[in-house]
Amino acid sequence: MDLGIKGKRALVCASSKGLGRGCAEQLAAAGVNLVMNARGAEALEETAQAIRDEYGVDVVTVAADITSEEGRARVLEAAGDVDILVTNAGGPPPGLWSDWGREDFLAALDSNMLTPIALMTAIMPKMIDKGWGRVVNITSQSVKAPIPQLGLSNAARTGLTGYVAGTSRQVAPFGVVVNNILPGIHATDRAIQLDGGVSQKEGISMEEAKARRAATIPARRYGTRQEFGATCAFLCSEHAGFIVGQNILCDGGGTNATI
Ligand code: NAP
């Protein structure tokens, strides 16, 4: 399917690896030029070059912490008036409700709620001026069904979801379409980190931890960055203009809910 976005420009945050990388790759496959970001310059440049080589699109890289004001300012300057924004950042650490104090919550809110809001606030006015824009926020299945050990993530991402629910309807009249994708378990470094935590806590091997988690997913496997990225590219396409303010689960059926 022609996604109808060849030649457009996208900012994909936190995209040297994992789900962000999957989104960057699938947008590039649709002919979209990219501004890519991550903190580590080496992996970022390596991924950017792989995308240039494979898809022939322009890729600008900005090594920066997207959750810091200084880093975000540099990314926004490089992004200019992009047509597509994909927000993403690392997820907060797991733990028990009694582990976390005010500083932990502020850090989680900064990363997974206030950073995407700041990015949308900076970029959407230019999309509104052009009468066209697409925003996809990478959140988590935890906004539909809580993951008890990810209390920081549950809290911050639910806040972002509430913001998007209202804001997406305020910008839709101007051709700007905002949606969230809710990943379930995907085969990325983040999944390895979470499996490592389970393996340590339960005294089992990494393979066993992974097999146990995969067994909880109806699809009986972890998702891939390619299939996640393809969902993102579709939501950024010409065809998705009537999908507004939605929360699209990509979780292999892991969230046991009717709607
Ligand atoms: P990942 O494989 O660990 O990749 C994270 C990417 O983001 C890397 O490119 C990393 O590069 C970059 N990054 C992290 N923090 C950053 C920051 N502050 N500024 C700029 N770049 C940053 O993670 P993932 O699995 O793709 O997860 C992406 C998001 O989805 C996370 O918020 C995660 O919690 C959420 N999620 C993931 C899953 C899953 O199963 N994978 C499930 C639900 C939710 P640098 O480290 O070099 O900055």
Share of the chain above pLDDT 90, in %: 95
pLDDT digits over 25-80, tens only? Answer: 999 999 999 999 999 999 999 999 999 999 999 999 999 999 999 999 999 999 99
pTM: 0.97
E strands along the chain, which residues? 9-12, 33-38, 59-63, 84-87, 133-138, 176-183, 247-250
pLDDT grade for 192, boundaries at 50, 70 and 90: confident
What whole-number distance in Å separates Cα of residue 235 and Cα of residue 98?
38
Q: Which atom of ligand 1 is nearest to the CA of 222?
A: 40
Share of the chain above pLDDT 70, in %: 100
In this predicted structure, the answer to whether residue 163 has a pLDDT above a threshold of 90 is yes
Q: Which atom of ligand 1 is nearest to the CA of 185?
A: 40
Instruction: Provide mean pLDDT across the span 216-233.
Output: 98
Closest C-alpha residue for ligand 1 atom 18? 65
Q: Ligand 1 in contact with 87 (CB < 6 A)?
A: no
Contacts of the segment 237-243: beta carbons below 8 A, 24+ positions apart: 237/3, 237/4, 237/5, 237/30, 237/134, 238/3, 238/4, 238/5, 239/1, 239/3, 239/4, 240/134, 240/177, 240/179, 241/175, 241/177, 243/177, 243/179
pLDDT for 197 equals 87
Contact (CB, 8 A) for 127 and 105: no
How many Å separate Cα 152 from the centre of its chain?
A: 17
What whole-number distance in Å separates Cα of residue 10 and Cα of residue 126?
13
Closest C-alpha residue for ligand 1 atom 13? 14
CA of 174 to the centre of ligand 1 (A): 31
pLDDT grade for 193, boundaries at 50, 70 and 90: confident
In this predicted structure, the answer to whether residue 22 has a pLDDT above a threshold of 90 is yes
What whole-number distance in Å separates Cα of residue 191 and Cα of residue 199?
12
Q: Which residues of 81-98 are buried (b: 16+ CB within 10 A; e: fewer)?
A: ebbbbbbbbbbbbbeeee
Averaged pLDDT of the chain: 97
pLDDT digits over 119-154, tens only? Answer: 999 999 999 999 999 999 999 999 999 999 999 999
Q: Ligand 1 in contact with 185 (CB < 6 A)?
A: yes
What residue has token string 């789900």? 19
In this predicted structure, the answer to whether residue 190 has a pLDDT above a threshold of 90 is no
Contact (CB, 8 A) for 150 and 92: yes
Q: Which atom of ligand 1 is nearest to the CA of 141?
A: 43
Question: 43 in helix, strand or coil?
Answer: helix
pLDDT for 243 equals 98
Instruction: Provide mean pLDDT across the span 235-239.
Output: 98
Tell me the helix, strand and coil percentages in the chain, rounded to 5. Answer: 55, 15, 30
Instruction: Provide mean pLDDT across the span 190-209.
Output: 90
Instruction: Provide mean pLDDT across the span 178-188.
Output: 97
